[in-house]
């Protein structure tokens, strides 16, 4: 085992840097290293199963870390993309692949299993491809993640379908497994919400770092094991645990403990994929293997491109989205193995399909690298303008991120009071327009830590987030809380949900952009109706305080729809009672004054 570990680490050290220098990314380096040291070439490591089980745990850790970055309310926001894009990509792809296989003489049962398995894409390949190019926060990154999450959720129905296709008497047990899977999902979500924070608090109180690390690993391994026992993807179980922990105070510490393990084990996983490729079958029957590989990649790319383009109307985003999802999935290995055991899939077809998936995993990184180098820049309508250099910026107590309507009003009043400020905006056109009036504003992305440091945020007292971008406001707030916790943050909020996201990011000073203007407009209407000024102002103040309290109460409740409805109904009744009481008090005062 020590010799195997030595060979694996040496292969990583040699192959991955070379692949990175060639501009092909690290994943292709891992895959190539696996092919070279595996049974098909040098034969330095012949027992692939010796490392594959442990290596697959790297994928599980990857999904856990991704879950840590997704708060439950953000995941709820993704629901339309998960089911819309997920169904739109997977169903047509599986159907077309199955139909083509039937046309080539494959029986219906085999074609159905192969269609489902080949329609899936590799989470372990796609997410690192996006991550190392900083594409995860972009449109194609978010859309690809939504599709991959849907595919993980589709794992249990796909496995449950196998006994039915085989006509087995054990089909009923598969549907029992569905119920068992649902129970495990509920258990993970409930445990992550109620039990895990208490456990981390208790372990942290012991102040033993290695025990905290062991607890974090136990959480990942435990949820993955539960999910696997229920027939679900272990990665899906770890992902749910990560989402539940994402709202915990210990999120960043857990992330720091898990990341070193995840990186190395994920590299071992890619090496095991390269080692499992049966190049002997490729040498003896090259056309039978290469044609399906190229056909699979082309078909999945075409369908995914169409799905993304119809939704977004962005050619570059659609191309990235489609290429990232063009490979086969590691779950296909599991599905085909299980199908052979159930008698649903011919073992020779399964062997060819497994090789096709492994080779497609090698082709996808190459295609994405080539497209980024030779194609993507041609799809851009115009060359992006570099951000301004802030080397000569004078230190100012206030930094304004976003110099649109709200930011300009704030800046003008500060200038009248002789208060210096530094303004940043992400729109080059907006910056150029404002500069025409003699205002000093810089073009830059405030979500970038290095830019904010250059703008003098370390020495600033107040940061104003006045961006009109919903997600951008939250991203800036989270970055500032992590890197510049001493700075007071005052944020612009679009609506109540935006307020809740900002509160989760640690912002407690915020202004809803339409709230106070609506209150002022109401006050003007009441004055036009000749309602006494004191009564009008009193009504506005009662409503303002009541709504502010309700805003914080609904944040504490979270996404519990039943409690939200109940709270809203109670709040409406309470507000009516307040108005009635206040009206009676004012009537009594008016009567006393008249007498």
Domain total for the chain?
Answer: 3
CB atoms within 10 A of CB 166: 18
DSSP SS3 for 119: helix
Domain identity same for 442 and 305: no
Burial of 90 (0-12, 13-18, 19+ CB in 10 A): buried
Q: Which of 472, 496, 512 is the last residue of a domain?
A: 512
Q: 129-180, pLDDT tens digit by residue?
A: 888 788 887 888 889 988 988 887 776 577 667 766 766 544 444 566 677 7
For residue 170, the model assigns a pLDDT of 46
CA 327 – CA 123 distance, rounded (Å): 10
Domain identity same for 216 and 129: yes
* Distances from the Cα of 486 to the Cα of 251, 456, 458, 462, 465, angstroms: 20, 13, 8, 9, 16
* CATH number of the domain enclosing 502: 3.40.50.720
CB atoms within 10 A of CB 429: 10
More confident residue, 487 or 347: 487
| 437: confidence class by pLDDT, cuts 50, 70, 90 | low
For residue 292, the model assigns a pLDDT of 92
DSSP SS3 for 488: strand
Q: Which of 494, 512, 530 is the last residue of a domain?
A: 512
- The answer to whether the beta carbons of residues 68 and 251 sit under 8 Å apart is yes
Q: Token pair for residue 584?
A: 């009676």
More confident residue, 470 or 66: 470
Q: Which of 512, 528, 558 is the last residue of a domain?
A: 512
Q: 383-420, pLDDT tens digit by residue?
A: 455 666 665 567 789 999 988 888 989 998 998 898 98
Host domain of residue 461:
395-512
Domain identity same for 506 and 524: no
| 272: confidence class by pLDDT, cuts 50, 70, 90 | confident
Lowest mean pLDDT among 82-86, 357-361, 577-581: 577-581
- The answer to whether the beta carbons of residues 323 and 371 sit under 8 Å apart is yes
Give the sign of the dihedral formed by CA 548, CA 550, CA 551, CA 556: positive
**Domain contains 385:** no
> What is the rounded average pLDDT for all residues in the chain?
80
Lowest mean pLDDT among 2-6, 246-250, 303-307, 406-410: 246-250
**Domain contains 386:** no
- How crowded is the C-beta side of 216, counted as CA atoms within 13 Å? 28
For residue 293, the model assigns a pLDDT of 92
Domain identity same for 518 and 507: no
* CATH number of the domain enclosing 175: 1.20.1530.20
- What's the 3-state SS for 538-591? HHHHHHHHHHHHHHHHHHHHCCCHHHHHHHHHHHHHHHHHHHHHHHHHHHHHHH
CB atoms within 10 A of CB 222: 15
**Domain contains 595:** no
More confident residue, 270 or 534: 534
- The answer to whether the beta carbons of residues 93 and 117 sit under 8 Å apart is no
| Residue among 10, 30, 8 at smallest CA distance from 19 | 30
Domain identity same for 341 and 451: no
| Residue among 73, 233, 207, 6 at smallest CA distance from 554 | 73
DSSP SS3 for 443: strand
**Domain contains 110:** yes
DSSP-derived pairing of the beta strands 421-425 and 441-443? parallel
Domain identity same for 307 and 267: yes
Average pLDDT estimate for 336-355: 82
Domain identity same for 497 and 433: yes
Domain identity same for 578 and 472: no
| Residue among 396, 405, 449, 395 at smallest CA distance from 425 | 405
Q: 275-297, pLDDT tens digit by residue?
A: 877 777 778 888 888 999 999 99
Helix axes 251-276, 123-132, angle to 10 degrees: 120
């Amino acid at each position: 085992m020590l010799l195997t570990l030595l060979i694996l680490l040496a292969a990583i050290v040699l192959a991955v840097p070379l692949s990175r220098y060639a501009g092909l990314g690290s994943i292709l380096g891992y895959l190539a290293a696996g092919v070279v040291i595996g049974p098909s070439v040098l034969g330095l490591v012949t027992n692939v199963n010796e490392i594959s089980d442990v290596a697959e745990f790297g994928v599980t850790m990857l999904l856990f870390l991704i879950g840590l970055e997704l708060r439950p309310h953000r995941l709820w926001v993704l629901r339309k993309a998960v089911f819309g894009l997920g169904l739109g990509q997977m169903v047509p792809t599986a159907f077309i692949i199955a139909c083509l296989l039937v046309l080539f003489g494959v029986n219906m049962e085999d074609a159905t299993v192969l269609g489902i398995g080949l329609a899936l894409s590799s989470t372990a390949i796609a997410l690192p491809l996006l991550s190392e190019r900083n594409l995860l926060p972009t449109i194609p990154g978010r859309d690809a993640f939504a599709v991959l999450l849907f595919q993980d959720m589709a794992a249990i129905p796909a496995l449950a379908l196998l006994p039915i296709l085989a006509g087995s008497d054990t089909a009923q047990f598969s549907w029992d497994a569905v119920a068992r899977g649902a129970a495990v999902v509920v258990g993970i979500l409930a445990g992550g919400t109620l039990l895990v924070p208490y456990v981390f608090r208790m372990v942290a109180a012991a102040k033993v770092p290695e025990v905290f690390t062991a607890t974090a690993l136990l959480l990942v391994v435990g949820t993955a094991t539960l999910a696997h026992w229920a027939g679900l993807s272990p990665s899906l179980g770890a992902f749910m645990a990560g989402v539940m922990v994402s709202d915990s105070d210990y999120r960043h510490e857990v992330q720091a403990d898990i990341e070193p393990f995840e990186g190395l084990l994920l590299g071992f996983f890619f090496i095991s994929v390269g080692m499992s490729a049966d190049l002997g079958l490729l040498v003896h029957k090259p056309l039978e293997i290469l044609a399906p590989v190229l056909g699979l990649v082309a078909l999945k790319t075409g369908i995914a491109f169409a799905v993304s383009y119809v939704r977004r109307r962005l050619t570059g985003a659609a191309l990235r989205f489609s290429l990232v999802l063009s490979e086969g999935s590691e779950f296909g290995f599991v599905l085909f193995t299980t199908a052979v055991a159930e008698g649903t899939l011919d073992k020779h077809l399964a062997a060819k399909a497994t090789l096709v998936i492994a080779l497609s995993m090698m082709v996808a990184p190459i295609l994405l690298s080539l497209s980024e180098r030779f194609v993507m820049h041609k799809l851009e309508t115009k060359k992006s303008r570099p951000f301004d250099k802030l080397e000569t910026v004078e230190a100012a107590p206030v930094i304004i991120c976003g110099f649109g309507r709200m930011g300009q009003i704030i800046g003008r009043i500060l200038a009248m009071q002789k208060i210096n400020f530094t303004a940043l905006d992400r729109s080059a056109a907006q910056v150029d327009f404002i500069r025409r009036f003699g205002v000093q504003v810089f073009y830059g992305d405030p979500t970038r830590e290095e830019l904010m440091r250059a703008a003098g945020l370390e020495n600033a007292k107040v940061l104003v987030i006045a961006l009109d971008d919903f997600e951008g406001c939250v991203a800036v707030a989270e970055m500032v809380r992590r890197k510049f916790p001493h700075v007071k943050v005052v944020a612009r909020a679009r609506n109540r949900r935006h307020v809740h996201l900002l509160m989760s990011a640690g912002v407690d000073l915020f202004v809803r952009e339409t709230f106070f203007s609506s209150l002022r407009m109401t006050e003007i209407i009441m004055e036009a109706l000749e309602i006494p000024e004191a009564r009008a102002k009193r009504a506005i103040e009662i409503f303002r305080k009541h709504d502010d309290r309700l805003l914080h109460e609904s944040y504490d409740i979270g996404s519990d729809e039943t409690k939200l409805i109940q709270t809203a109904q109670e709040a409406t009744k309470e507000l009516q009672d307040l108005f009635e009481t206040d009206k009676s008090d004012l009537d009594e005062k008016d009567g006393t004054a008249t007498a």
